[in-house]
Chains A and B, each alone.
Chain A
Amino acid sequence: MNNPRSLYLKSFVAGAIATIGFAISTLLFGVLVGAAAVGQGFSVVESMLMSATVFSASAQFAGLAIWQSPAPLIALAVSTLLISTRNILLGLSLAPSMPVHNPVLKCVCLFFITDPNTVLTLRVGNEFDRPSFLIGGGLILYMTWMLGTVCGSVFADLIDGSHRSSLGFAGPLVLLTMMVLLAKGANRQWRAWLISGFVAILLAYFSTPYFLVMPLSVACGVIMCLSDRRQAGEQ
């Protein structure tokens, strides 16, 4: 496989195939966001516009929860920022293994940095071109996301309230599948992950504000990781 174009194509297709499993949950979240947007008075086209530009279930759920007219733009920006802070960590983890020099390609890649796509891209070996892999997976997720939003907007009345609240727990389920993928990968950081989980549950139990739970628990995980690294270096 010496031809770069065939490497790009192979990686693009591999990324698209790898994300098919996550497309199911993405479709489901799209349906829920579409239904929630219609519930707030959005038209089908307006909910599609929001999904097309934001492409983030958690940010859109949070935004719709505080939605009113006229739109509280500052509150929307702040809530979106707080909810999306983990994207900073995802980008930070991708940077060393995925250098992109073309500015247009870089913008496309940055738009497609999502949880499942990042986890899958971090797991692929050097036989693939990582930016092409990320874009292939990102396109599949984006298309299913838009399809889900349209379905949710059009058929909003069919999803009753009790099902919506049950499906709200689908988020942790999807994150757990990604966590298992990470745990089966090469770079396992059990102690850091467990510490983060433990600190997060402790902070949540004591009703710590949401925006503090993730940074504090991740910081504890990083400290554990650095300590493991130091010990390994000493040995």
Chain B
Amino acid sequence: MSSDIIMASMVMGLTVLATRSLGYLIGERFKALHRYRDVLEALPGCAMMSLITPALIGADWHQVLALVSTGLLMWLSNSVALATIAGLLILLGVPIVLEA
């Protein structure tokens, strides 16, 4: 096994763990932040929206269709599995159909 890959895995693993720990430890240490619990609980949604919406720039129509279908199915069925599988089928299936 390459020592390069071992070192790189350790560095990346520790960095990810540091980011996972940092927010929790700050929230745990500074109890005053707990008064802003509703604001803190809005953070994951804000972070996710900041990742989802830029993906729309430059997306193909079938990718947008997959996104809309996934969102709608998720809203109606509440099933992550169903919504994800449907979205993936559109993502992979439409280009294959168009190529054929």
Residues of A within 8 A of B (CB): 20-22, 24-25, 28, 42-43, 45-46, 49-50, 52-56, 59-60, 63, 67, 69-71, 73, 76-77, 80-81, 84-97, 99, 109-111, 113, 115, 118-119, 122, 162-163, 166-167, 169-184, 187, 189, 192-194, 196-201, 203-205, 213-214, 217-218, 221-222, 225-226, 229
CB distance from A105 to the nearest CB of B (A): 13
Q: How large, as a class, is the contact surface on chain B?
A: 35 or more
- Measured CA separation A101–B51 after assembly (Å): 33
Residues of A within 8 A of B7 (CB): 71, 73
Most buried by B among A20, A90, A122: A90
B66 touches A173 (CB 8 A): yes
CB distance from A81 to the nearest CB of B (A): 5
A94 touches B39 (CB 8 A): no
> Which listed residue (B1, B6, B47, B84) contacts A89, Cβ 8 A?
B47
A21 touches B80 (CB 8 A): yes
CB distance from A150 to the nearest CB of B (A): 16
B11 touches A222 (CB 8 A): no
CB distance from B8 to the nearest CB of A (A): 4
CB distance from A160 to the nearest CB of B (A): 11
Residues of A within 8 A of B83 (CB): 177, 180
